[in-house]
C-alpha cells in the first residue's frame, strides 16, 4: 500500500500538540477558548512583501479532521495519554472560528495572515498543518511573483517538479507559483487537480532518438503542428538547431498556413543566442516564432538577460522557483494572542523575548489596509483591537516603522478589512474562488503597491501600524511581564 493511502493528515502534527492537548484536558482547559495568530517575521529574499497562499488546503484539512481507530490505538500504545483524552479524540472535530486573508493577498511581517478562535485542544492540534501549508505555498507564491515581475509581462512557466522536495512540494508548488503569477506549469497532475494549465513539448531525448536533428524536428511538427516548439540546443544551436527548425517549419507548417511556432534554448549564453536566433528567424520570415528559454533561471538572471537585450518571449523557471533556492524558509509562526474568560471577556496574551523581533502583538485583532482614494495604491496596514473600528472619513496619524517617533498623516483613504470569515462554529462559511480568480486577484493587489515597495533590492518598508489602544495594551503587558 502506498504511503498516501495510509495517511490521516490529522496525525501530521508535532507530538507536543498531543501532549499539550492531553494536559489541557486533564487540567480543565479543554473548553477554554483561545485565540492564535499566524504571521511571519521577515519577507523572503529581503523583499518588500510576500504573497499569502495555502488557504484552500487548510480548509480541506479542517473539514476532514478526525482520529481513526488506528490512530487511537497508536496513541494508546505510547502509554502517555489518558483514556478519557483518547475517547475525546475519537469524537474530535473542529468547532471554532477562523478568519484569514484571501489567497493571493500581499502580506507584510507581523500582521495576522490567519486568526483561529477555538477551544484550546482544537486550536493547538492544527498548528503544524496550518503552518506547513501557509509557509510552503506563501514562499513559492512570493518567489514566483518576483520572477514574474522580473519577466516584465513575458510568459513564465513553472518547470521545477523534478527538483522539488517531494510530490506535495511539486504539486502544491505549481499551484502556488500560478497564484503568484506564473502562466502555467510542466506538472500535469497540478493541471488535473487544480486547473493550473500544464504544457510542454520535448526534451533532448526526442532529438537524440532520431537519426538526425532535422528528422526529429520534422516529425514533431507533423504530429503537433499547432504546438510546435523545438528544442534547438542539443548539438549546435546556431549552426544546426535553428537552421533545422526553420527548415522543418518551412516544409511542414508553412504549407498548412501555420505561423505560430517556437524554439527553446536550454543552455549557453541566452542573451547572445536569443538575439542571433531572433535575427535568423526574422530573416527566414518566421517573425511570429517565439523564443523560450530555461536552465536555472531566477528573477535576477531574467532581469540581467533583459537588460542585455535578450530576445526572449517565454521563461521556463525550475529549481530556483520550486525550491525558493535563494531563501527556502518562509518563517511563519503560530502564537497564542488571547484567551476568553467564562464571562466572554477577552484577555490578551503576549510572548516576550530578548530578541525584540520575536515579541508578539497581543490580543484578538482586526487587520485593515488603507488605500489612497486619489491613487488606488496601498498606503499602510493597520492593526487594532477587535472592538475598534476605523473611520476613514477622518485623517489619521500612523507611525513610521523605521523611526517610531515619526508619524505620517493618512488622509483621503478607504479602509478595507483584510481578513474574511472562513469557519464559524466549525462550519465552512467561505467559498474558495477558482485558481484563475485567485491569480487575477493577486496580480491586481500587487499592482496596488508602490514600485518602491516592489523593488528587489532595498525596498521601501511598508507601514504596518498598531492602533493607540493596541499599543497601550502591548506596552502595559510588556511592563507587567518585566516586573515578574
CATH number at residue 216: 3.20.20.70
Of all residues in the chain, the percent with pLDDT exceeding 70 is: 96
Q: Is residue 89 part of a domain?
A: yes
| 453 and 371 within one domain | yes
Cα-to-chain-centroid distance, residue 339: 30
Is the domain of 289 the same as that of 208?
yes
* pLDDT score of 3: 47
Give the pLDDT confidence score for residue 4 in this predicted structure.
Answer: 53
Cβ pair 125, 149 in contact under 8 A: no
Residue 155 lies in a domain: no
Please determine, for residue 6, whether its predicted confidence score (pLDDT) is greater than 80. no
Is a pLDDT exceeding 60 seen at residue 5?
no
Q: Give the model's confidence band at 1: pLDDT under 50 very low, under 70 low, under 90 confident, else very high.
A: very low
End position of a domain, from candidates 245, 276, 309: 309
Which pLDDT does position 484 carry in this prediction?
57
Distance between CA 285 and CA 232 in Å, rounded? 18
Residue 40, pLDDT score: 96
**Backbone angles phi and psi of 114, in degrees to 5:** -145, 145
477 in the same domain as 360: yes
Domain CATH number, residue 121: 3.20.140.10
Question: Could you tell me if 476 and 332 lie in one domain?
Answer: yes
Within-domain flag for 151? no
What is the model's pLDDT at position 61?
96
pLDDT at 420: 98
Residue 120 pLDDT class (50, 70, 90 cuts): very high
In the chain, count H helices and then E strands: 18, 21
Domain boundary among 264, 279, 309: 309
Based on the domain organization, do 242 and 337 belong to the same domain?
no
Quote the pLDDT of residue 406: 57
Separation CA 68–CA 63 (nearest Å): 15
Angle between helices 127-150 and 55-63 (to 10 degrees): 160
Residue pLDDT, tens place only, 283-299:
999 999 999 999 899 99
Cell numbers for 408: 505620517
Q: Which residues touch 159 (CB under 8 Å, ≥6 apart)?
A: 185, 186, 294, 316, 317, 318, 321
pTM over 0.85: yes
Same domain, 441 and 338: yes
The β-bridge partners of 380 are 370, 463
Number of domains in the chain: 2
The verdict on residue 418 lying in a domain is: yes
In a domain, 468, yes or no: yes
pLDDT at 355 > cutoff 90: no
On whether both 393 and 459 belong to a single domain, the answer is: yes
Q: Which of 151, 150, 175, 171 is nearest to 161 (CA)?
A: 171
The answer, yes or no, to whether residue 214 has pLDDT greater than 70, is yes
Q: In this structure, is residue 146 part of a structural domain? A: no
Residue 177 belongs to a domain:
no
Mean pLDDT, range 253-275, rounded to an integer: 96
Cβ(236)–Cβ(255) below 8 Å: no
For all residues of the chain together, what is the average pLDDT?
94
- Closest by CA position to 179, among listed 105, 250, 287, 118: 105
User: Considering the domain boundaries, does residue 157 fall inside one?
Assistant: no
Task: Looking at the structure, tell me whether residues 235 and 298 fall in a common domain.
Answer: yes
Q: Are residues 39 and 130 in the same domain?
A: yes
- For residues 122 and 217, membership in a common domain is answered with no
Q: What's 92-124 look like in SS3?
A: CCCCCEEEECCCCCEECCCCCCEEEEEEHHHHH
d(CA 86, CA 66): 12
pLDDT, tens digit, 9 for 90 and up, residues 294-352: 989 999 999 999 999 999 999 999 999 999 999 999 999 999 999 999 899 999 999 98
Which of residues 249, 280, 309 is at a domain's end?
309
Domain that holds residue 283: 203-309
pLDDT at 152 over 90: yes
Same domain, 28 and 126: yes
Question: 16, 236, 254: which is closest to 128 by C-alpha?
Answer: 16
Contacts of 106 (CB under 8 A, 6+ apart): 49, 50, 51, 52, 378, 442, 445, 446, 448, 449
Residue 399: pLDDT above 80? Answer: no
104 backbone dihedrals φ, ψ, rounded to 5°: 95, -5
Q: What is the mean pLDDT of residues 57-62?
A: 96
Please tell me the distance from the alpha carbon of residue 322 to that of residue 141, in angstroms, as a whole number.
Answer: 9
Claim to verify: residue 353 and residue 451 sit in the same structural domain: yes
* pLDDT reading at 402 higher than 70: no
Amino acid at each position: 500500500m502506498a504511503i498516501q493511502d495510509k495517511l490521516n493528515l490529522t496525525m501530521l502534527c508535532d507530538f507536543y500538540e498531543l501532549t499539550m492537548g492531553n494536559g489541557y484536558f486533564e487540567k480543565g482547559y479543554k473548553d477554554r477558548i483561545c485565540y492564535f495568530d499566524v504571521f511571519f517575521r521577515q519577507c523572503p529574499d529581503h523583499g518588500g512583501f510576500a504573497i499569502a497562499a495555502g488557504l484552500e488546503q487548510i480548509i480541506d484539512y479542517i473539514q476532514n479532521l478526525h482520529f481513526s481507530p488506528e490512530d487511537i490505538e497508536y496513541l494508546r500504545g505510547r502509554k502517555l495519554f489518558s483514556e478519557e483524552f483518547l475517547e475525546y479524540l475519537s469524537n474530535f472535530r473542529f468547532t471554532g472560528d477562523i478568519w484569514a486573508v484571501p489567497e493571493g493577498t500581499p502580506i507584510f511581517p507581523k500582521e495576522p495572515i490567519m486568526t483561529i478562535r477555538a477551544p484550546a485542544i482544537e486550536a493547538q492540534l492544527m498548528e503544524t498543518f496550518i503552518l506547513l501549508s501557509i509557509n510552503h505555498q506563501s514562499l513559492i507564491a512570493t518567489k514566483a511573483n518576483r520572477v514574474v515581475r522580473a519577466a516584465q509581462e513575458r510568459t513564465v512557466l513553472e518547470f521545477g517538479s523534478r527538483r522539488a522536495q517531494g510530490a506535495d512540494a511539486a504539486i502544491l508548488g505549481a499551484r502556488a507559483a500560478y497564484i503568484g503569477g506564473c502562466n502555467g506549469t510542466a506538472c500535469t497532475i497540478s493541471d488535473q487537480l487544480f486547473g493550473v494549465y500544464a504544457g510542454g513539448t520535448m526534451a533532448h531525448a526526442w532529438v537524440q532518438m532520431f537519426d538526425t536533428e532535422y528528422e526529429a524536428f520534422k516529425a514533431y511538427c507533423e504530429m503537433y503542428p499547432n504546438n510546435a516548439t523545438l528544442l534547438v540546443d542539443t548539438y549546435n544551436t546556431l549552426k544546426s538547431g535553428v537552421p533545422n527548425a526553420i527548415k522543418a517549419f518551412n516544409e511542414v507548417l508553412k504549407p498548412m498556413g501555420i505561423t505560430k511556432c517556437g524554439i527553446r534554448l536550454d543552455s549557453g549564453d541566452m542573451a547572445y543566442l536569443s538575439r542571433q536566433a531572433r535575427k535568423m528567424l526574422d530573416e527566414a520570415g518566421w517573425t511570429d516564432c517565439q523564443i523560450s528559454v530555461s536552465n536555472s533561471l531566477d528573477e535576477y538572471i531574467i532581469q540581467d538577460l533583459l537588460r542585455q537585450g535578450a530576445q526572449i518571449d517565454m521563461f521556463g523557471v525550475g529549481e530556483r522557483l520550486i525550491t525558493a533556492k535563494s531563501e527556502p524558509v518562509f518563517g511563519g509562526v503560530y502564537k497564542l494572542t488571547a484567551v476568553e474568560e467564562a464571562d466572554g471577556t477577552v484577555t490578551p496574551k503576549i510572548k516576550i523575548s530578548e530578541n525584540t523581533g520575536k515579541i508578539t502583538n497581543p490580543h484578538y485583532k482586526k487587520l485593515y489596509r488603507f488605500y489612497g482614494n486619489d491613487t488606488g495604491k496601498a498606503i499602510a496596514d493597520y492593526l487594532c483591537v477587535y472592538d475598534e473600528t476605523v473611520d476613514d472619513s477622518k485623517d489619521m496619524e500612523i507611525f513610521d516603522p523605521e523611526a517610531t517617533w515619526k508619524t505620517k498623516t493618512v488622509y483621503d483613504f478607504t479602509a478595507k478589512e483584510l481578513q474574511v470569515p472562513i469557519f464559524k462554529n466549525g462550519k465552512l462559511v467561505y467559498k474558495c474562488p477558482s485558481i484563475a480568480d485567485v491569480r487575477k486577484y493577486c496580480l491586481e493587489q500587487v499592482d496596488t503597491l508602490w514600485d518602491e515597495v516592489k523593488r528587489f533590492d532595498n525596498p521601501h518598508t511598508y507601514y504596518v501600524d498598531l492602533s493607540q489602544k493596541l499599543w497601550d495594551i502591548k506596552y502595559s503587558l510588556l511592563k507587567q511581564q518585566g516586573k515578574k
